Amino acid sequence: MADGHTSHADLRRTPLFALHQALGARMVPFAGWEMPVQYPMGVLREHLHTRTAAGLFDVSHMGQVILRHPGGAAGAAAALERLCPQDFATLAEGRQRYGLFTSDAGGILDDLMVANFGDHLFLVVNAANALADVAHLRAGLPDCTVEVLTAHALIALQGPGAEAALAALAPGVAGMRFMDARTVAVPGGEIRVSRSGYTGEDGFEISLPAAEAEGFARALLDQPGVAPIGLGARDSLRLEAGLCLHGSDIGPDTSPVEADLIWAIQKVRRPGGARAGGFPGADRVLEQITHGAPRTRVGLRPDGRAPMRGGTALFAAEAGGEAVGHVTSGGFGPSVDAPIAMGYVASAHAAPGTPLWGEVRGKRLPVTVSPLPFHPHAYRR
């Protein structure tokens, strides 16, 4: 999980750094931050604990942005559609939607979450892209005010026990459903909560002032069944859930169609829709929606117990021939007790059940194209 390019002296620390140390976390560089990759429980047990109870994640390294417009949230939504292929105009107050920043070439500059808080939009962007995303917003939306929340923490509480644990401190969350977003009262103030996450489980993401973060996190950890979880388990959980990691599974060289993210482009922005196009790279994206893309992101199930890591070349035959794709993320899925991976393959080889071979240390090993997700989602609809 380390990014390998930043010295420890240059790393930023989240408001929960001291808590991570107190809990015995192993800290690593990640996207310019010093982050917990695991705690004494270990990655495997942390993963399974999140699936069966509740896991608390520090995601304060993510960028938190408030987007304002003279026309309120509606004006901000209309403006944001100039940079994204999503329908934000119909995003109701108190709801959140997954979005994509596309490039002029139709690639994915970043993926983000967008929530309507009535008089403004609240955006959460990836840590590694936060500075570039803010610059992109300011350059592309001169009619908006872009405010970065630098003095806020962001924590995620995920798993079947998440609602009970958070409701003990913030009773107002109990009636929320998947992708709801609201401001919730807690003793001493308010927190910004969305019912969403990056694990495939039910859960919440919570934005709150940095000064209050450690106390609130400790209060959550005092709830029955809540344990701290690091980046290692966060990665295996999201892989089992079939969720993309920007910089690995999606990026400027992949279009939303190739990434199998057409579901994230609402019909009104697609060919024939009332507001079709109008975003960067629309010509390529709309053409691929109509006619298909040359390659597709797929799930992959390696035979045996050995994982196939990112970068593994994929072939249509056990010997000879050119590669038909490559793995972008791979590892062991603790919940499915098997190696799993995602990658891109030529669309002619993308049907579930298609046999392929991955080249590992000079030897081709069998792998089968698999439906996603590997582990069923448990969102509270």
For residues 186 and 46, state if they share a domain: yes
Is 126 strand, coil or helix?
coil
Q: Amino acid identity, residue 322?
A: E
pLDDT at 8: 67
For residues 328 and 219, state if they share a domain: no
Kindly state whether residue 42 falls inside one of the protein's structural domains: yes
H-type alpha helices, 222-263: 231-240
Give φ, ψ of 102 to 5 degrees.
Answer: -105, 155
pLDDT at 3: 41
Kindly state whether residue 256 falls inside one of the protein's structural domains: no
Number of domains in the chain: 2
Per-residue pLDDT of the chain (381 residues; tens, 9 = 90+): 334 444 567 899 999 999 999 999 999 999 999 999 999 999 999 999 999 999 999 999 999 999 999 999 999 999 999 999 999 999 999 999 999 999 999 999 999 999 999 999 999 999 999 999 999 999 999 999 999 999 999 999 999 999 999 999 999 999 999 999 999 999 888 999 999 999 999 999 999 999 999 999 999 999 999 999 999 999 999 999 999 999 999 999 999 999 999 999 999 999 999 999 999 999 999 999 999 999 999 999 999 999 999 999 999 999 999 999 999 999 999 999 999 999 999 999 999 999 999 999 999 999 999 999 999 999 999
Domain containing residue 167: CATH number? 3.30.1360.120
Domain that holds residue 352: 294-372
Domain containing residue 328: CATH number? 2.40.30.110
Of 199, 218, 240, which marks where a domain is finished? 240
Kindly state whether residue 181 falls inside one of the protein's structural domains: yes
pLDDT at 5: 45
Beta bridge partners of 207: 154, 192
Of 174, 207, 240, which marks where a domain is finished? 240
- The Cα–Cα gap between 162 and 54 comes to 5
For residues 160 and 231, state if they share a domain: yes
pLDDT at 187: 87
CA angle 203, 205, 208 (to 5 degrees): 145
Kindly state whether residue 45 falls inside one of the protein's structural domains: yes
For the question of whether the overall pTM of this predicted structure is more than 0.85, the answer is yes
